[in-house]
Structure 1
């Protein structure tokens, strides 16, 4: 059966399946699905019922189904019925997946995959979907990509998405870009449920990438869409659809609450987290879920920060299940914080040591494996892109050959009519020459575009290597710091390391961007602040930092001076602006474009301000001299407002 025939077969099978499921639901609403399955006569009907029934394990447990499928499987082996054997093996593999035994499920999948050329398109589709799920659970991302490529080859998928794999590997910005390119075009404007899911996922990528304020905006947009969907009484919704919408709303509310926690807005976070936990429990049959665990840990942190210990311990109860290592580490951290606040230092130390043991138990090879997987995924991604380009090139070559053949036929016709159409010869000659020129232009354009793609790849590699070299310089400075006893030397080395990191971050943002010519300043400044905070571990974490640079993009010649200047200003604020504590500290960073080629920069804090002898120190302070030189590179002058009631303000216009 060719690909076109397989697609028709899949469509027809889907229609029959829908009719079959509807008929079964209408005829036996009171009969358990377990009994309905056993009463079906053919194995294909059982396969369709098994993979398309809703809440299969409602009346009977997973182990009951495993025993039933195993009995049918043994009967197929006894009767030597290879077709029934394949179908019951696939059902058995699905049950092992639902039990969480992914290795056993995958072993059955691999055995069936060896016979995939003999399977029909429907069975192949279910097999490859299950293999994809198993590889994802086991973190076998290169194999997951191979599975999706096979789905594309069989016509099951039109294109191969990578955003979930990139996200699992920690490349959240790349995952978001791939997700937007793959999913945005498939969502209709009036699909409010789909829009809510879309913006919630965008918020997840941004929050994991550290852009919490931007993520909060996406989550609030998602909540607006799901509220519209639930409030729309003109469109009928089944009970299942309504429960799914309520569940999604609970997840979104939890994400909004976690953003407020990240922003240290604990009183704002608590109502969202409480509503989220309640809504998820009311609308899921899975009992405890990972979302409930995450929200419980987040709300516990809020109550701890607000010194409401009884509420905090309610959410940190012993029966709170932790689904991931991160959940466990966070729970232990919060318990250690609680015991430290209540001056039970013995228990506090116990949970801190417990976290150390958990971290130590994670193999060092895991990070190396993650790097290898990332490298393999990137190579697979590049190879897939090259394959798509090769296919397009072959299609263009085929079209070109067809055009050439058509030209030859036209030439023969023109020659045969030459003696009767001499009066039109000049026009025909000009027409043919025009077509030839257009082809030459198209071919040259194709060559130029390929050259630009290759140069972009090389430029990204250069930025990546420059970033790696700067990170090596930063590591060398760190080693030198450990071997230096002079406090002044250590501070100088730390400042140098911070400046190197600021430049490395520029190159990192460049090679992660699709557009290599500019840097999006909002994301860069947020990442730079996180980098500076990691250097000054004892200060700066309670300062309210506002960054207003949304939509501003700068080229590398202007971004590097900006980054180094911001590094100096933020470092000075952390070190000197708040000597009595930074609980009420505020920093405001503002960049805007005032014209096509002009802009305005402003930096201010509400600290103790500049000392009286600032102008005298300017000639000897490396930081002030560096900022003045950086301003000169931007063809401007750094202005300082010293006569404020509190704090200091720096500003300048730039081109």
Structure 2
């Protein structure tokens, strides 16, 4: 009996030991840090590190950082430069995941200095890390430069600006650009893409305080992502599932924040709580400003509902906001809590912290934002010009292809004529001609569709150029408000007028069916109306006659012509009729016959002073007109008349 019992106990302990050992083996297999250590070399470790989802689930980012530092020290001892660069790249990514953006970008910038010696994979990862860090650090000018280099190196097809515009406070423009760039690229069957698109559009609307419309977009996005996650017929990788779950968490958090803006606190609470839970489970232990923002929104809801202790519990949890707006918001909520609980001393302390933060921001925030906005606008204009050049090249290639097709068609017809000489080949030639004609029709149809699409894209580019010029005009208006010098204000206003004249050219182009020329009668009328709206004095008593019917100019002639006319009309409104003359007249005459053109402008104002020659040498407006007329390969002529003045020139 005792022997049997002993054997049973031995067997029992052996089974327990076996199961414990199996659990240890399974645990080691599931431990991503151990699997990272088991990779054969630095290249495999780099690939494993950047392709592994939820790498911080078991071991924290600090554990990974310690292990990477060990490998980095070993590489430095043997002076293995390739391994050093790869481990530094992993080190930079871990600091980014921890939210230490300054240290992350410092390491990445050290690699950037030696980028010519990096392989393509390392270089692309480095550029992505720098791009992300500059966005978090609000260094948008540098971020655009990095994106430009990524495009030039072929890492991205084009540069996007909408996230930067949103960060600078231009949420509506960011949304419009995002919709224009993304809507036509998302297929109706791409459920994840549709969910991401609706969430992003809703996010811009939420920032713009359009809560109800934003909520509608968020709910559409939630519907798409729920269907995507529940679709068992489509095989998804672990990384795709993780991204989808995180997106669902972000959407639910945004729904909660929309309800908070609408003051529907009871509806907001479950969405915010569920969002925090989903993102925590799936972000792999990385730092998440999204969780911070949703937690602050959750605390705000509890404060509004009178759940003060619950709000305090959330605010005292391990929230570590890095963005200034979240720091300010946390201080504001803590101040509100202590105010509600009548601890006015602490409430005042948090309010004072916000005052100090706001004071430090207000010192240079406005000028910095203007500078960054100007930098981004400059890069977007350059990008638009580059797109126009690319589209022109593609259109030229399409025309050449069409010409080549036409030549092929001619050869086919010639061959058909020869086949008709033989009665035996008559039927064959007839059938072949039908087939050839169908092929030609199909090819022409494809080319015509291609040209229509190119024209549509070119119109869109002219529309963007016009918008960018309007942004330049807005920047000049903003500068005018901050300038006290009358001379500087006058110069800025003249600059605005000239920018508007150029913007009007691009507006007329994208409104025309023919993108190669501009109908000048309508353009001159629009330009005169624009100038007349600026100079109210005397503007309504002047009879303006425009004679430019059926005249069309290309953009290379229309732009200098528009600037010349802008100067002439502006000068007439400013100087020609100082006493608000009732019978003031302006006559604008433009004719073009073949390659020759003639322009004449007269008014019956007070005319030019006796020192006209001296003014020609000193007046910036007349010097500008002379240079513009030179661009038209002509010479500006000025005649004094009995009534007013006459300007005229011939051009090709």
Q: TM-score surpassing 0.5? A: yes
Measured after TM superposition, the shift of residue 170 of structure 1 is 2.0
Kindly provide the CA deviation profile for residues 314-352 of structure 1, in whole angstroms up to 9, marking residues without a partner as x. Answer: 434365443432223223323333444455544443333
In structure 2, do the counterparts of structure 1 residues 349 and 270 end up closer, same or farther at CA, with 3 Å as the change threshold? same
1:195 aligns with 194
In structure 2, do the counterparts of structure 1 residues 347 and 104 end up closer, same or farther at CA, with 3 Å as the change threshold? closer
- Point out the more displaced range, 53-62 or 197-206: 53-62
CA distance in 2, matches of 1:446, 1:229: 34
Kindly provide the CA deviation profile for residues 332-381 of structure 1, in whole angstroms up to 9, marking residues without a partner as x. Answer: 32333344445554444333333212222336223322221121111111
What does 1:598-613 align with in structure 2 at a 5 Å threshold?
none
2:15 aligns with none
Kindly provide the CA deviation profile for residues 553-590 of structure 1, in whole angstroms up to 9, marking residues without a partner as x. Answer: xxxx9xxxxxxxxxxxxxxxxxxxxxxxxxxxxxxxxx
What does 1:205-224 align with in structure 2 at a 5 Å threshold?
205-224=204-223
1:393 aligns with 392
Contact 1:220–1:256 (8 Å) recurs in 2: yes
CA distance in 2, matches of 1:471, 1:88: 48
Contact 2:296–2:315 (8 Å) recurs in 1: yes
Contact 2:292–2:319 (8 Å) recurs in 1: yes
SS at match of 1:371: helix
5+ long unaligned stretches in structure 2: 1-24, 415-446, 485-499, 512-528, 530-652
CA distance in 1, matches of 2:319, 2:467: 49
CA distance in 1, matches of 2:228, 2:456: 48
Contact 1:293–1:322 (8 Å) recurs in 2: yes
Contact 1:460–1:516 (8 Å) recurs in 2: no
Q: Does 1:126 align with 2:154?
A: no
In structure 2, do the counterparts of structure 1 residues 395 and 319 end up closer, same or farther at CA, with 3 Å as the change threshold? closer
SS at match of 1:264: coil
1:250 aligns with 249
2:361 aligns with 362
Contact 2:97–2:287 (8 Å) recurs in 1: no
1:148 aligns with 147
Measured after TM superposition, the shift of residue 71 of structure 1 is 4.8
1:55 aligns with 54
2:625 aligns with none
CA distance in 1, matches of 2:84, 2:95: 16
In structure 2, do the counterparts of structure 1 residues 404 and 43 end up closer, same or farther at CA, with 3 Å as the change threshold? same
What does 1:165-184 align with in structure 2 at a 5 Å threshold?
165-184=164-183
What does 1:481-560 align with in structure 2 at a 5 Å threshold?
none
Kindly provide the CA deviation profile for residues 6-25 of structure 1, in whole angstroms up to 9, marking residues without a partner as x. Answer: xxxxxxxxxxxxxxxxxxxx
Measured after TM superposition, the shift of residue 217 of structure 1 is 0.7
CA distance in 2, matches of 1:456, 1:184: 17
Query: Relative CO higher for 1 or 2, CA cutoff 8 Å, sep ≥ 6?
Result: 2
SS at match of 1:56: coil
CA distance in 2, matches of 1:318, 1:516: 58
SS at match of 2:160: coil
Kindly provide the CA deviation profile for residues 176-212 of structure 1, in whole angstroms up to 9, marking residues without a partner as x. Answer: 2333344334434333333222211211111001211
2:329 aligns with 330
In structure 2, do the counterparts of structure 1 residues 231 and 51 end up closer, same or farther at CA, with 3 Å as the change threshold? closer
1:313 aligns with 312
RMSD between superposed Cα atoms in Å: 5.1
Kindly provide the CA deviation profile for residues 80-131 of structure 1, in whole angstroms up to 9, marking residues without a partner as x. Answer: 5544444344334334434444444434434444554454433332232222
Contact 2:250–2:279 (8 Å) recurs in 1: yes
Contact 1:456–1:516 (8 Å) recurs in 2: no
1:97 aligns with 96
SS at match of 1:364: helix
Q: Does 1:137 align with 2:136?
A: yes
Contact 2:253–2:276 (8 Å) recurs in 1: yes
CA distance in 2, matches of 1:275, 1:58: 19
When normalised by structure 2's length, the TM-score is 0.55
In structure 2, do the counterparts of structure 1 residues 327 and 403 end up closer, same or farther at CA, with 3 Å as the change threshold? closer
Contact 1:257–1:273 (8 Å) recurs in 2: yes
CA distance in 2, matches of 1:313, 1:360: 27
When normalised by structure 1's length, the TM-score is 0.55
CA distance in 1, matches of 2:286, 2:264: 29
Kindly provide the CA deviation profile for residues 247-282 of structure 1, in whole angstroms up to 9, marking residues without a partner as x. Answer: 433332222222122122233333433443444445
SS at match of 1:362: helix
Aligned length: 446
5+ long unaligned stretches in structure 1: 1-25, 416-438, 477-506, 519-556, 558-655
What does 1:434-473 align with in structure 2 at a 5 Å threshold?
457=465, 461=469, 465=473
CA distance in 2, matches of 1:236, 1:413: 50
1:497 aligns with none
Contact 2:246–2:279 (8 Å) recurs in 1: yes
Measured after TM superposition, the shift of residue 292 of structure 1 is 3.6
CA distance in 1, matches of 2:277, 2:57: 22
- Point out the more displaced range, 216-225 or 463-472: 463-472
Measured after TM superposition, the shift of residue 226 of structure 1 is 2.6
Measured after TM superposition, the shift of residue 218 of structure 1 is 0.6
Contact 1:332–1:352 (8 Å) recurs in 2: yes
SS at match of 1:158: coil
Contact 2:54–2:282 (8 Å) recurs in 1: no
In structure 2, do the counterparts of structure 1 residues 164 and 80 end up closer, same or farther at CA, with 3 Å as the change threshold? same
In structure 2, do the counterparts of structure 1 residues 235 and 29 end up closer, same or farther at CA, with 3 Å as the change threshold? farther
In structure 2, do the counterparts of structure 1 residues 397 and 82 end up closer, same or farther at CA, with 3 Å as the change threshold? farther
- Point out the more displaced range, 129-138 or 185-194: 185-194
In structure 2, do the counterparts of structure 1 residues 152 and 350 end up closer, same or farther at CA, with 3 Å as the change threshold? closer
- Point out the more displaced range, 164-173 or 466-475: 466-475
In structure 2, do the counterparts of structure 1 residues 170 and 55 end up closer, same or farther at CA, with 3 Å as the change threshold? same
1:264 aligns with 263
CA distance in 2, matches of 1:314, 1:516: 60
Kindly provide the CA deviation profile for residues 374-393 of structure 1, in whole angstroms up to 9, marking residues without a partner as x. Answer: 21111111111212222333
What does 1:287-302 align with in structure 2 at a 5 Å threshold?
289-302=288-301
CA distance in 2, matches of 1:86, 1:361: 38
In structure 2, do the counterparts of structure 1 residues 285 and 336 end up closer, same or farther at CA, with 3 Å as the change threshold? same
Kindly provide the CA deviation profile for residues 41-73 of structure 1, in whole angstroms up to 9, marking residues without a partner as x. Answer: 343223222322333344545455445444544
Contact 2:92–2:105 (8 Å) recurs in 1: yes
Contact 2:265–2:301 (8 Å) recurs in 1: yes
In structure 2, do the counterparts of structure 1 residues 475 and 259 end up closer, same or farther at CA, with 3 Å as the change threshold? farther
Contact 2:249–2:276 (8 Å) recurs in 1: yes
